């Protein structure tokens, strides 16, 4: 059965007394070996009842529910959207029944329960305790925490395809973020989308007259897609499937009415592609992953929306590439994990329909851009490569018959390499305007007469300009957080050093503005999340700038397994998380100590997600190295982490085992025991601040609870912040501000 817990709204009515259906009812649904908890919350109202649904495994709670028919203690619950029916008999505090969806039937018993907030609600520190902690950050500072972390007054700029409008998100005084439009000719502004309870996570232009946007529920990452016309009409939800996650795959520039999305609508563990009508939400399925076949990890479409390539997982780790030849998907190659082969764009300029631009490191260490014949399965030629870094991609001109405009990649800084004569002129003009500062063309109109340009650096948050090609004018549109003047900001310096086993490592050190040689500063070590395939880069970092403004240095190390440095460097980190990857972080600390920049007795470690794990691992692996730590949504126990992954990660479980460790292999299970901080809390000697989103679908709140509870039993100081309206990281402004204020108080107490 392809189960989707987009169980929508239960109708409530009938003859049963209100007190007999008042409260929460919990049941376990067993589907293909997977047990999924459901909680139905029923509240009597003047007109009957209201109800909501919780799906704890997905971090989803308080999903509005709809229709139940009750008669003679018989209850029938239906959802037309999900083609499901639940029928049962009410007996006291139990409902015995049968769940049916798409022709499949399963027993489901709902029992009265007491609904609680996620996790152990006795553990989090009170608001008063956290306020006292924040108050410890005393001093006269030019900039406040709000200056660095409040949502900019305006941000997320985009040009409409015809260039008639500039859209952006605009902050209310209370922190909410709404979508606005401004006519480029008249500068007339109007509100288009007003944020409700849930954040608008992102938006984009679908055509000249319609904007699409994404929202989830309380940070559960099950994104839904909504649409609205620019005159404010036809505002609707296009993917009304609770518990289902949607991702946009292709925009289809030649089709104003459709886009291609992927959803785990019919199988929670597998995303499948759909053609979506952006006006009424009608969907047409484009490909079905048959039961028993390898799970699909990616789809490749051409510019016309034809599905041409599929990447599916074999052995749970490697990717088998299938390519459509004569109407049939045929095996092309198997790409080992760590190697890469991805179709960036098909090449419409060629008479050969099977010619495409690919980013590949097959046969090389660094990823390069190649022209490739997919039908013959052979490289035509290498178009661009770097000796030191992986190449990221290329940009094509749709107006000029898909001519290559530029290549780009991330080295010590982001690099853009102009290719076409037209773009070389544009780039030269902008370089004349901005000099050696870092700038990018972030968007353009369909006729390519206007470009949206963003200027940034380690000291500039972001400045947006409009370049009019015909008029040859560069006009400033907005500066993000303009009160943060570049001359007051700290410098982010690239560093290179050797690991203890001989690897060349890269990273960044941020020293406070006005730093004088010989000063030994308190240091905050900030390992990045991921951990695989991502990296820290050069640019404006509000955390590093906040830390610098308070007199701290910040170290960021791109440890082995980080992306961008070639597959050899990536693979060197497989099975080394918490071990050699952690050694690399420590070697970075040794390097900056030897440079004379920092005080070796005043080192804190702070990070989020994998970075939060690195905090906990560091404080158990080398407990005397750190004066304190801040764990932000970090893993504490690798065993429970593996057991609580969201359903759509199931197909990646073997991959997760390869990156981290495999608990079914005794030797690797022993390593998991060794590097799971929750199993070694007795080694943590120094104060720790733990921060968690209650609805986090990636790092379950139990991960944070168990480390807090264990440490407190040993008498270790552990302030604990939990936000019950957040997921994996804090998206809401008020929560971010609470976090950083409390963290600065914690650091002030233990680093100075």
pLDDT at 60 over 60: no
Question: Residue 648 — very low, low, confident or very high, per pLDDT cuts 50/70/90?
Answer: low
pLDDT tens per residue across span 283-293: 999 999 998 88
Question: Residue 11: which pLDDT band, with cuts at 50, 70 and 90?
Answer: very low
Q: What is the tens place of the pLDDT at every residue in 249-271?
A: 999 999 999 999 999 888 888 89
Q: Give the integer Cα–Cα distance in Å for 573 and 612.
A: 18
Give CA–CA dist 534/511, Å, rounded. 23
Interval 400-411: pLDDT, tens:
999 999 999 999
- Whether residue 290 is preceded by a cis peptide bond, meaning omega within 30 degrees of 0, is no
pLDDT exceeds cutoff 70 at 735: yes
**pLDDT (0 to 100) of residue 14:** 32
pLDDT value at position 36? Answer: 73
CA 740 to chain centre: 20
Confidence of residue 2 (pLDDT cuts 50, 70, 90): very low
Whether pLDDT at 100 is above 60: yes
Confidence of residue 5 (pLDDT cuts 50, 70, 90): very low
Q: How far is CA 207 from the centre of its chain?
A: 26
d(C-alpha 309, C-alpha 330), whole Å: 9
Q: How far is CA 211 from CA 99, 157, 187, 605, 669, in A?
A: 38, 13, 19, 42, 49
Q: Can you tell me the mean pLDDT for 370-386?
A: 97
The reported pLDDT for the residue numbered 3 is: 33
Query: Percent of the chain beyond pLDDT 90?
Result: 68
Higher pLDDT, residue 70 or 550? 550
Distance CA 422, CA 405 (A): 8
Cα 392 from Cα 369, distance rounded (Å):
8
Whole-model pTM: value is 0.78
Hey, CA dihedral for 706, 708, 712, 716, is it positive or negative?
positive
The answer on pLDDT for 76 being more than 90 is no
Residue 209 pLDDT > 70: yes
pLDDT per residue as tens digits for the range 541-596? 999 999 999 999 999 999 999 999 999 999 999 999 999 999 999 999 999 999 99
pLDDT at 308: 97
Q: What is the pLDDT of residue 17?
A: 38
Statement: residue 9 has pLDDT above 70 = no
DSSP string, 256-317: TTEEEEEE-SS-TT--EEEEEETTT--EEE-----TTSPPEEEEEE-TT--EEEEEEEETTT
Residue 93's pLDDT band, with cuts at 50, 70 and 90, is confident
Helix/strand/coil for 205: strand
- Looking at 84-88, 201-205, 264-268, which range is the least confident one? 84-88
Question: Would you call 653 helix, strand, or coil by DSSP?
Answer: helix
In tens, the pLDDT along 436-447 reads 889 999 999 999
Tokens standing for residue 247: 């991702």
Mean pLDDT of the chain: 89
For 493-524, how does the pLDDT look when each residue is reduced to its tens digit (9 = 90+)? Answer: 999 999 999 999 999 999 999 899 989 999 99
- What pLDDT was estimated at residue 82? 55
80: pLDDT confidence band, cut at 50, 70 and 90? Answer: low
What local confidence, expressed as pLDDT, does residue 102 receive?
61
Please classify residue 7 by burial: count the beta carbons closer than 10 Å to its beta carbon, then call 0-12 exposed, 13-18 middle and 19+ buried.
buried
Largest CA distance in the chain: 83
Q: With bands split at pLDDT 50, 70 and 90, how would you rate the model's confidence at 221?
A: confident
pLDDT digits (tens, 9 = 90+) for 329-351: 999 999 998 899 999 999 999 99
Task: Read off the pLDDT band of 58 (50, 70, 90).
Answer: low
What's the rounded mean pLDDT across residues 225-251? 92
Q: Which two tokens stand for residue 308?
A: 């041409």
Bridge partners, 40 (sequence order): 25, 53
Q: Please state the φ and ψ torsions of residue 132, each to the nearest 5 degrees.
A: -65, -40
């Amino acid at each position: 059965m392809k189960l989707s817990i987009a169980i929508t709204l239960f109708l409530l009515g009938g003859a049963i007394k209100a007190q007999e259906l008042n409260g929460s009812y919990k049941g376990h649904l067993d589907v293909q070996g997977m047990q999924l908890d459901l909680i139905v919350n029923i509240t009597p109202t003047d007109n009957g009842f209201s109800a909501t649904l919780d799906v704890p495994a997905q971090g989803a709670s308080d999903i509005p529910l709809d229709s139940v028919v009750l008669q003679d203690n018989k209850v029938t619950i239906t959802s037309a959207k999900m083609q499901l029916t639940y029928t049962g008999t009410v007996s006291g505090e139990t409902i015995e029944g049968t769940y049916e969806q798409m022709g499949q039937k399963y027993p489901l018993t709902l029992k009265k329960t007491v609904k609680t907030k996620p996790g152990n609600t006795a553990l989090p520190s009170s608001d008063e305790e956290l306020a006292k902690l924040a108050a410890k950050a005393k001093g006269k500072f030019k900039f406040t925490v709000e200056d660095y972390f409040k949502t900019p007054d305006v941000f997320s700029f985009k040009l409409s395809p015809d260039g008639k409008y500039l859209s952006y998100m605009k902050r209310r005084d209370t922190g909410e973020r709404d979508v606005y439009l401004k006519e480029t000719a008249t500068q007339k502004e109007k509100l288009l989308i007003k944020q409700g309870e849930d954040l608008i996570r992102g938006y984009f232009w679908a055509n000249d007259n319609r904007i699409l946007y994404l929202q989830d529920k309380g940070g559960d990452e099950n994104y839904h897609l909504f649409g609205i016309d620019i005159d404010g009409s036809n505002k609707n939800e296009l993917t009304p499937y609770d518990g289902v996650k949607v991702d946009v795959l292709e925009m289809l520039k030649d089709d104003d009415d459709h886009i291609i999305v992927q959803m785990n609508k019919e199988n929670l563990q597998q995303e499948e592609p759909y053609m979506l009508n952006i006006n009424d939400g009608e969907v047409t399925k484009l490909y079905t992953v048959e039961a028993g076949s390898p799970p699909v990890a990616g789809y490749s479409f051409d510019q016309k929306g034809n599905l041409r390539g599929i990447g599916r997982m074999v052995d749970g780790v490697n990717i088998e590439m299938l390519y459509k030849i004569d109407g049939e998907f045929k095996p092309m190659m198997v790409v080992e994990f760590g190697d890469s082969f991805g179709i960036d764009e098909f090449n419409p300029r060629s008479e050969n329909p099977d010619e495409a631009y690919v980013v590949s490191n097959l046969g090389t260490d660094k990823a390069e851009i190649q022209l490739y014949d997919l039908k013959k399965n052979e490289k035509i030629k290498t178009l661009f490569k770097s000796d030191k870094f992986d190449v990221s991609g290329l940009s094509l001109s749709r107006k000029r018959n898909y001519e290559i405009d530029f290549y780009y990649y991330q080295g010590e800084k982001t690099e853009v390499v102009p290719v076409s004569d037209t773009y070389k002129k544009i780039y030269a003009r902008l370089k004349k305007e901005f000099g050696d500062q870092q700038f990018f063309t972030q968007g353009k109109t369909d006729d390519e007469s206007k470009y949206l340009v963003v200027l940034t650096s380690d000291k500039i948050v972001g400045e947006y300009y409009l370049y009019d090609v015909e008029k040859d004018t560069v006009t400033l549109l907005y500066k993000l957080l303009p009160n943060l003047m570049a001359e007051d900001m700290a410098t982010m310096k690239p560093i290179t050093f050797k690991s203890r086993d001989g690897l060349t490592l890269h990273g960044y050190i941020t020293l406070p503005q006005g730093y004088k040689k010989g000063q030994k500063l308190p240091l905050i070590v900030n390992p990045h999340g991921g951990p695989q395939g991502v990296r820290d880069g050069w640019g404006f970092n509000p955390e590093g700038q906040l830390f610098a403004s308070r007199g701290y240095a910040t170290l960021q190390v791109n440890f082995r397994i980080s992306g961008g440095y070639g597959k050899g460097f990536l693979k060197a980190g497989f099975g080394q998380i918490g071990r050699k990857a952690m050694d690399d972080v420590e070697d970075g600390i040794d390097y900056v100590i030897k440079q004379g920049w920092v005080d070796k007795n005043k080192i804190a470690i702070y990070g989020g997600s994998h970075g939060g794990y690195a905090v906990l691992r560091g404080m158990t692996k080398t407990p005397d190295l750190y004066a304190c730590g801040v764990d932000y949504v970090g893993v504490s126990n690798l065993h429970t982490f593996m057991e609580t992954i969201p359903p759509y990660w199931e197909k990646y479980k073997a991959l997760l085992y390869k990156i981290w460790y495999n608990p079914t292999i005794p030797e690797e299970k022993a390593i998991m025991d060794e590097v799971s901080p929750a199993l070694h809390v007795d080694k943590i000697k120094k104060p720790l601040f733990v921060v968690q989103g209650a609805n986090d679908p990636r790092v379950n709140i139990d991960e944070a609870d168990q480390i807090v509870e264990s440490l407190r039993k040993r008498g270790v100081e552990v302030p604990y912040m939990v936000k019950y309206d957040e997921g994996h990281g804090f998206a809401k402004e008020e929560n971010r501000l609470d976090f950083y204020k409390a963290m600065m108080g914690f650091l002030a107490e233990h680093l100075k």
